[in-house]
Amino acid sequence: SIGMVIILANQGLLDLRGGLLMVLGSNIGSCVGVVVASWGAFHEGKRALWANVFFKVIAAILFFILLPAFEIMTVKLSSLFSEASIGREIANGHLLFNIISAFIFIPFIDWEVKLLNKIIPEKEREDRISQTKYIKMSGLEMPSIGLDNARREVARMAQFVEAMVRDRKSVV
């Protein structure tokens, strides 16, 4: 979506301020697909999702409030590296938004973790052998997460088998 904004600006259909506003909106909009995909996710996934949403929305609000300063910083950064075109200025604005936002939020990570743990607590679930606890369809899109969840599920099933063997020994 940022690419489309850059193309519109390079064609003269969008000025810098409009492009930067679209950068802010696009960052918020990028959360929508993740929110929909997280339905049915485990509490850890939901916490990560909402941390991302809070981060993007709050950062966009801050940059919207400081839009004139954001615009000036973007123009100055663009003029340092090359002959500035409006497309490059918008791309640099996107870069500035993400870098500055990260630095702003780093000191608040512990507070955000505590808040999200209160908002999305870990639910006690009855552990049943007939249902998987860690393997969900949403985890299959990223192989590393899917493999880690499969490893956790195998370890959980091994605990059930150990309990069955112990129970069998006590019966015999």
Is pLDDT above 90 for 124?
A: no
Q: How many CB atoms lie within 10 A of CB 122?
A: 10
What SS3 class is residue 85? coil
What pLDDT score does 84 carry?
A: 75
Say if residues 134 and 146 touch (Cβ distance below 8 Å). Answer: no
Judged by phi (left if over 0) then psi (alpha if -120 to 50, else beta), residue 12 lies in left
Q: Give the C-alpha separation, 71 to 53, whole Å.
A: 24
Has residue 99 got a pLDDT over 90?
yes
Q: Among 27, 30, 84, 107, which Cα is nearest to 59's? A: 27
The pLDDT value recorded for residue 80 is 87
Q: What is the pLDDT of residues 41-84, one digit of tens each?
A: 667 777 888 888 899 999 999 999 999 999 999 999 888 876 77
Of 39-53, 117-131, 140-154, give the lowest mean pLDDT range: 117-131
The number of angstroms, rounded, from the C-alpha of 121 to the middle of its chain's C-alpha atoms is 19
Among 77-81, 106-110, 125-129, the range scoring the smallest mean pLDDT is: 125-129
**Percent share of the chain, pLDDT over 90:** 38
> What pTM value is reported for the model?
0.66
pLDDT tier, 129 (very low <50, low <70, confident <90, very high otherwise): low
Report the pLDDT value the prediction gives residue 134, as an integer from 0 to 100: 74
Q: Closest Cα to residue 32, out of 61, 3, 18, 52?
A: 52
